[in-house]
Amino acid sequence: MKGQITFAILLVGLSARAQEEAPFKPETDFEFKLDYSFKERLVQERADYEAYDPDKKVKSSGPLPYLKTELKLLTLAANEVRVKIINNKGTTVLNRKATVGTILKIDWGFSDDVKDQVTSHSYTVLLMSDDKKIQSRITLHADSDGTFLVNGHKRGRL
């Protein structure tokens, strides 16, 4: 049992290292769009009494900014046949065959939640070969100050 746990930890570590070592996909090979809209946040049940907390943000009951992104694959290398998207929590969001023209849509959620890092604030798009070796990657990251980065380059603000 102990050996299995050690082996699993080793595999996770090697997988993370492989993601970091894979080269960034050139920005000319994909098209990126930030898609803002406004949505109502569902009102949650309120307590009868709530203690005053000066650090607590006032929640709006009106429409709030909501973030979605689109990533279109313009060109693929001959060995890039699969695409996998993983969030900052290590959860696989999407895993499918990659083709030229594929549009990858990511629903980030309310922009305040993304900035506060309550929801996923970072995604890694991995382009893989048939044998699941990572060929290239695209990183999408929202900083807590609202700066939006694609492969480490500023591409907008939330």
Given a contact cutoff of 8 angstroms between Cβ atoms, the answer to whether 87 and 49 are in contact is no
Contacts of residue 152, Cβ cutoff 8 Å, sequence gap at least 6:
24, 139
What's the rounded Cα separation, in Å, for the pair 53 and 31? Answer: 43
Domain count, the chain: 1
Q: Which domain does 69 fall in, by range?
A: 23-40+62-150
Contacts of 140 (CB under 8 A, 6+ apart): 69, 71, 106, 122, 123, 124, 125, 148, 149, 150
Q: Does residue 139 fall inside a structural domain?
A: yes
Does some domain include residue 11? no
pLDDT per residue as tens digits for the range 112-129: 999 999 999 999 999 999
Condensed to tens digits (0 to 9), the pLDDT of residues 37-75 reads 999 987 665 555 555 555 555 555 689 999 999 999 999
- Return the CATH number at 79: 2.60.40
